[in-house]
Amino acid sequence: MIETENLKIAVGELDEERVNAFLDASLAFSPTEEDARAVLAAYQAGMDIVGERFEQGRYFVGDLVFAGSLFAAAVEKLKPLLGFSGGEGRIGMVILGTVEGDIHFIGKNLFKTMLEAASFHVIDIGIDQPPKAFADAAVRYQADIVGLSGLLTTAVDSMRDTVEALKAAGIRRKVKVILGGSIVTEAICTYAGADDWSRNAYEGVGKCRNWMRAKTR
Ligand code: B12
C-alpha cells in the first residue's frame, strides 16, 4: 500500500511540484487499483484541507480552481488503473449530472469514470442542470439509475426538486436515484426522496451494481 499522508498535505498546501513528484513516483512502480484508490482518497482529503482554508479566508476562488486542476490531472493519469474486475457487457444505463445551481464536476466525473469501468453506460448531462433536464434524459435513454451530484448546501433543494421532476415525468418507480458529493448525508437522502447516497465514488458504484443485480434476478 502506498503511503499517502504526505500527498494529502501537499495537495492541501497546493504544492504542485511535490504533488506531481508523488504522483509520478506512485505510478512508477506498477500500482494496483487499490493503490490508485488510495492516491485518490489522499487527493480528496487534501481537497478538504483546501476547502477549510478557503472557509478560513486563507485561500481564494483562484486556489479552488487550481486545486481542481490538480485533482483533474491526477484522475486522468489514474483512470486506466480504475478498472473493476470481471467486466460484463453493458449492465445498466445511468443518467448523471450536477444539479441546478452547482458547477462542481470533478467528483461527478470521477464517479462517471468508475461507473464506465464497471461496465455501465453513462449519459453525463453536465453541470448546473435543471430538474427537467434529468427527467427528460431519464425518459429518453430509459435510465435504470439517475445520479445527482452536488457540493453546495443549496444543491440539496435542487436534488429534491429533481426527484420531484422524475415523479412528475411518471418514471420515479422505474429508476433508482443515488445522491453524491461532499454535502450528502442520510438525512439529505431522506429529505430529497432519493434511494441511496454516497460520498465515495467507489462505494456508489457498488450500490449501483447491487441494484442492477437485484433487477436482473
Ligand atoms: C475545487 C472546488 C471548486 C472549484 C470546482 C472545480 C470543478 N471543475 O469542479 C470551483 C473554483 C469552480 C469552485 C467554485 C465554488 N465553490 Co467550491 N470547492 C472546491 C473544493 C476545494 C474541492 C471540490 C472537489 O473537487 N473535491 C474532490 C472531489 C473528488 O470530491 P467530491 O466532489 O466530493 O466527489 C467525491 C464524492 O463526493 C463522490 N461523488 C461526487 N459526485 C457524486 C455523484 C454520485 C451520484 C455519487 C454516488 C458519488 C459522487 O465521488 C467523488 C470521489 O469519491 C471544495 C472543498 C471540498 N472539500 O470539497 C470546495 C467547496 C465545495 N466549494 C465551496 C464554495 C463555497 C464554492 C463557491 C460558492 C465559491 C465562490 N464564492 O464562488 C463556488 C460555487 C460555484 C457554483 N455555483 O457551484 C464550498 C461549499 C460550501 C457549501 N456547503 O455550500 C466548499 C465545500 C469549500 C468550503 N469548505 O467552503 N469550487
Domain containing residue 157: CATH number: 3.40.50.280
Ligand 1: residue whose CA is nearest its atom 87: 51
Domain total in the chain: 2
Mutation test residue for ligand 1: of 7, 14, 43, 104, the one with most atoms within 8 Å of CB? 104
pLDDT for residue 84 = 55
Domain's final residue, options 31, 53, 82: 82
35 plus 103 within the same structural domain:
no
Ligand 1: residue whose CA is nearest its atom 81: 152
Ligand 1, residue 107: give the atom nearest the CA.
34
Ligand 1: residue whose CA is nearest its atom 7: 104
Mean pLDDT over residues 162-167, rounded? 98
Band the pLDDT of 81: cuts 50, 70, 90.
confident
Per the CB < 8 A criterion, the answer to whether 42 and 11 are in contact is yes
Domain's final residue, options 25, 49, 82: 82
List the grid coordinates of 175.
Answer: 429508476
178 plus 123 within the same structural domain:
yes
Is residue 87 a part of any domain in this protein? no
Residue 12 alpha carbon to ligand 1 centre in Å: 14
Mean pLDDT over residues 165-192, rounded? 98
pLDDT for residue 11 = 95
120 plus 163 within the same structural domain:
yes
Q: How far is the C-alpha of 14 from the C-alpha of 141, rounded, in Å? A: 40
Is residue 111 a part of any domain in this protein? yes
Half-sphere exposure of 185 (CA within 13 A, CB side): 5
69 plus 100 within the same structural domain:
no
Residue 85 alpha carbon to ligand 1 centre in Å: 29
- Angle at CA 101, nearest 5°, toward 48 and 123? 85
Whether 213 shows a pLDDT value over 70: the answer reads yes
Q: How far is the C-alpha of 80 from the C-alpha of 140, rounded, in Å? A: 30
Mean pLDDT over residues 104-110, rounded? 93
Ligand 1, residue 103: give the atom nearest the CA.
78
Ligand 1, residue 207: give the atom nearest the CA.
47
Ligand 1: residue whose CA is nearest its atom 28: 107
72 plus 142 within the same structural domain:
no
113 plus 28 within the same structural domain:
no
Ligand 1: residue whose CA is nearest its atom 27: 44
Domain's final residue, options 82, 107, 133: 82
pLDDT for residue 88 = 55
Band the pLDDT of 2: cuts 50, 70, 90.
low
End-to-end C-alpha distance for the chain, whole angstroms:
36
**Inter-CA distances, 16 with 12, 30, 92, 104, 177, Å:** 10, 23, 38, 21, 37
78 plus 14 within the same structural domain:
yes
Query: In terms of residue numbers, what domain contains 67?
Result: 4-82
pLDDT for residue 113 = 86
pTM of the model: 0.92
pLDDT, mean over the chain: 92
Whether 3 shows a pLDDT value over 80: the answer reads no
Band the pLDDT of 215: cuts 50, 70, 90.
confident
Whether 25 shows a pLDDT value over 70: the answer reads yes
Is residue 57 a part of any domain in this protein? yes
77 plus 105 within the same structural domain:
no
